[in-house]
Amino acid sequence: MDNILLQAPGHSSGQVSLAVAIIIVIAAVIVGHLRRQIEQGDLLQPSLFILLVLCSVILYFVVSLMNPGYVEDNEDEKDSANGQQKAAGSPQGPNVRLRRCGYCMVKQPLRAKHCQSCHHCVRRYDHHCPWIENCIGERNHPLFVLYLGVQLAVLLWALQVAWSGLNFQPFSWTWLQSNLVLLLSFLLIIVCTVVVTLLLASHLYLVSCNTTTWEFMSRHRISYLKHCKVENPFDQGVFLNLWRFFCACRLVAWEKLYPPEESDLV
């Protein structure tokens, strides 16, 4: 269990407060609508919405507290390679020359990167998310994408309720005073919905290509990509990429997929 949930990397109280504030705003927008449904005897939609909100909150804290895939500083290179080969279930691949991290001095598996914020090397590093104050890596990346999906469902639901609750009339100060809170909440939900939609779409695209945000943005600076003759040496097709990402509950030895002729350039 301690391989999954590790010490929390010092969460910003401001970011947590902002997350709680957004949840409160969404709840305030939709609570009146749900109360009317409960009074009418409709318990399915209120129960489903509460379940979605609880799932969103739980996923937020799980992803933020979870070990994203830190490279252990006491791993022996040979034992680590053998363990990864057994976990991946693949035959012996090319002898990839791995680099040693200049900060924590550990042997970095392929696609790992040192995070300056977490002070750890992270396997299949995607990015450091300031929203959850944790790295997104090989272990928690699938849950992060799932969190974005659940969060988008909650936002779209709240957006629909807020839109239906606005009583559109010719503008007047009386109308503005009676609808100000709902209008501001509606605008806030729109902004959050656009941000989450763009994040979810970009991550699904990158996952389908079996690449990461770091690799996509910094290909020209990454040694195992800028010298590689193949555009993406890890791409195995959309279906296999998605299956490996969401369904393979184990660390992957990415060295086995790297072209043998490029192994000395890593």
Which of 20-24, 56-60, 100-104, 112-116 bottoms out in mean pLDDT, i.e. has the lowest? 20-24
State which of 152-156, 169-173, 237-241 shows the largest mean pLDDT.
Answer: 237-241
- What dihedral angle (degrees, nearest 10) is formed by the CA atoms of 69, 72, 77, 79? -80
How far apart CA 10 and CA 7 sit, in angstroms, is 9
Which of 121, 129, 192, 228 is flagged as catalytic? 129
The pTM of the whole model exceeds 0.75: yes
Is 192 part of the annotated catalytic residue set? no
pLDDT, average across residues 131-144: 93
How far apart CA 34 and CA 240 sit, in angstroms, is 41
The reported pLDDT for the residue numbered 19 is 60
